[in-house]
Amino acid sequence: MNRFSHIVISFLLAMGAMLPVAAQPARTMVQVSVAPRDGSFYHKVGDKVDFDVRVTMSGVPTECSSVEYEVMEDMMPAHARGELTLKNGEAVVRGGTMRQPGFLRCKVVAVHDGTRYEGLCTVAFDAQALQPLVEMPADFQDFWANQLTEAQQVPISPRLELIPESCTDRVDVYHLSLGAFRNGVRVYGILCLPKAPGRYPAILKVPGAGVHKFMGDVNTASNGYITLEIGIHGIPVNQSQAVYDALAWGALNNYPSANIDSRYDYYYRRVYLSCVRAVDYLTSLPQYDGENMFVAGGSQGGALSIVTAALNPKVKAIMALYPALCDMTAYLHGRAGGWPHYFRDRKDDAALAAKVSTAAYYDVANFARLLKVPCYMSFGFNDTTCPPTTTYATYNAVPSEKKLVVVEETGHYNYPEQWNVGWDWMMSFRK
């Protein structure tokens, strides 16, 4: 195994702890395969698309007690549904077309011996023409400039606690906390520093959604990188997982929507600023090489990668897989919106206008519009957590140098090859 492959594999193993829904799904006994009949996932508005359906067990066509299908635009209610009669395990669904850029999805559910098995296929219609529907507030950049100024008044005052059992002959591992926000709120993470004298590139690894324990990326650090893996909740990240499970079901349940009616109190204000301050800390280390600061993550972490790079000019390049928090209010305009899908079931309450206004200041699509550094993105068309309508529109809005890798069949997970390409591309900007 060459040195580059070892670094990538180490990075992937460490990232797995950050991405709770990033694992490739296990293969089931019965396979429901849905694919575009013409073999293409890319179409023009007005083209008609049909879907081939194949149901097999051990690769052999199998009988099912029922097979049902639905056709819908991305994350929208089904506009066509019905039952299928399989012939030699196969059938065809007439998918129709779209009249505007977006994604059309065919969902098939087959029942075999009382168990439901599902297959999806999603195809694009002029996806390159998609743009975010969220508008950038006129004072968006002033708002965030003021937040950054406020955050910078907080002493960063790092506190490091060596974790002897995690250290190796090449890497020192610390539980770290930083002053990042008002009222004494700190950001916590696991810092891995190469022991050998020298100056190294730095990688900030930002987490997927949830409440987690972190171990740190010792393997990547052992290959000549400073790595910092942070949490976002202002709590230590070295406790037992039982602590985080209790918080996830308790005080931090539904945290992505906390105080969404106030742009000053919304949960992600502290989160975004904590990421920025983590970069400030890494780039202040005497071991940092002064040039190469990278940020990477998936889902919520993909969102935080984009936000951090937009707010902190010290970032060199980023890797963002299926970013969340993109075009969140698009649901209010009849189009798929991004995780956490707060506006999917529209609530016409008295605070709706305030919630819409707040969301615009935190929408990742607006940060993407300000990117000045290279951005790698990758996602799949079957992702119903961070829908492709939102991620593709956000990618299209990025004005800086960028690279997109789409693996159409994937949902909210990634193959190792997507990381390999992203890592290689991101590191091509290392100086």
User: How far apart are the C-alpha atoms of 252 and 243, rounded to whole Å?
Assistant: 11
Q: What is the DSSP string of 28-59?
A: PSEEEEEEETTS-SEE-TT--EEEEEEEEETT
422: phi then psi, degrees, rounded to nearest 5: -65, -45
User: How far apart are the C-alpha atoms of 284 and 196, rounded to whole Å?
Assistant: 18
Q: How does DSSP classify residue 372?
A: -
The answer to whether residues 3 and 223 touch, using CB atoms and an 8 Å cutoff, is: yes
The answer to whether the bond into 388 is cis (omega within 30° of 0) is no
Task: Give yes or no: 412 in active site.
Answer: yes
Task: Give yes or no: 58 in active site.
Answer: no
Task: Give yes or no: 383 in active site.
Answer: yes
Q: Which residue out of 299, 327, 341, 378 is catalytically annotated?
A: 299
Best CA proximity match to 300, nearest among 15, 23, 19: 19
User: Which residues contact residue 153 at a Cβ distance below 8 angstroms, ignoring those fewer than 6 apart?
Assistant: none
Q: Which residue out of 112, 212, 341, 412 is catalytically annotated?
A: 412
Q: Which residue out of 74, 261, 327, 383 is catalytically annotated?
A: 383
- How many angstroms from the chain centroid is the CA of residue 327? 13
Q: Sign (positive/negative) of CA torsion 128, 134, 139, 142?
A: negative
Q: How does DSSP classify residue 87?
A: B
Which active-site residues does the annotation give?
299, 383, 412
